[in-house]
Amino acid sequence: MKAPQPPKGVKDEKVKKSFKKEKQVQQLPLRGQGGLVILADGDFPVHPAAVRILEAAATIVCCDGAAEKLCRYGKQPDYIVGDMDSLPADMKARYADRIHCVPSQETNDLTKAVTFCVQRGARQLTILGAGGLREDHTLANISLLADYSGQCRVDMVTNYGTFKAIRETTTFECTAGQRVSIFTLTPGVPVTIAGFKYPLTGALLDSWWKGSLNETTGTSFTISFGKGGIFILFIAF
């Protein structure tokens, strides 16, 4: 990816140096693309499915204070991204070589971590630890999947299931009896769902409850919708 350049006419050497530093950071490779995990600072993974993802990760990018939880668990962060407002001073010193500080408050630490990975070539990643604790944080993190889905393939795995965002008609493999909820940030886009106990045809999910608590009936299900739609699925364990 082409590194950002300072605006034309900029003569301030400090500004030029900041762009040069960013260029150097953007050239830093990730340590393996096969199992890239972002660990957020919410509920730490305890469900076996979430723990397996954490254990198999080739690269772990921690959102700020999540690095402390990861170390208590017995693993080391490859990178720590965020505004560093919740990382203890001793850990800032210990992991100074892998900290990527983004002081801006225009985005949260999770978005900073996703941006960090995408800028370095990530095309697929899994987010752990983004649920639990404060409900407003959880809702915000889930809604951000809509933004992330336009940049790379992202799964958000909690201790209860997996959230996925889709921007086009998609068929998923499943087993009969799986519990699935469907939400949207584009309530004006009709959706048709097949392979469920409660199918929908051209429905408008203009309230969050309308696509929730469904159940699969076979080995696959399909979510169909037109241009401009963004739907978020929760597939329970």
Query: Is residue 18 a part of any domain in this protein?
Result: no
Query: Is residue 20 a part of any domain in this protein?
Result: no
Query: Is residue 143 a part of any domain in this protein?
Result: yes
Among the candidates 137, 160, 183, a domain finishes at 160
Number of domains in the chain: 2
**Are 77 and 127 in a shared domain?**
yes
- CATH classification at residue 62: 3.40.50.10240
Q: Which domain holds residue 186?
A: 167-236
pLDDT in tens, 46-85: 999 999 999 999 999 999 999 999 999 999 999 999 999 9
**Are 176 and 155 in a shared domain?**
no
Predicted TM-score (pTM) of this structure: 0.85
CA-based nearest residue to 39, from 14, 12, 16, 68: 68
The answer on pLDDT for 180 being more than 90 is: yes
Helices and strands in the chain: count of H runs, count of E runs: 6, 14
**Are 117 and 227 in a shared domain?**
no
Query: Is residue 5 a part of any domain in this protein?
Result: no
Tell me how far the alpha carbon of residue 35 is from its chain's centroid.
14
**Are 190 and 138 in a shared domain?**
no
Mean pLDDT of the chain: 88
Among the candidates 160, 189, 216, a domain finishes at 160
CA-based nearest residue to 41, from 71, 62, 20, 55: 62
Among the candidates 135, 160, 185, a domain finishes at 160
CA-based nearest residue to 154, from 3, 7, 236, 53: 53
Q: How many residues does the chain have?
A: 237
Tokens (6 digits) for 172: 């998923």
The answer on pLDDT for 146 being more than 80 is: yes
**Are 61 and 137 in a shared domain?**
yes
**Are 119 and 198 in a shared domain?**
no
pLDDT in tens, 94-127: 999 999 999 988 899 999 999 999 999 999 999 9
**Are 156 and 39 in a shared domain?**
yes
Query: Is residue 123 a part of any domain in this protein?
Result: yes
CA-based nearest residue to 236, from 134, 158, 176, 152: 158
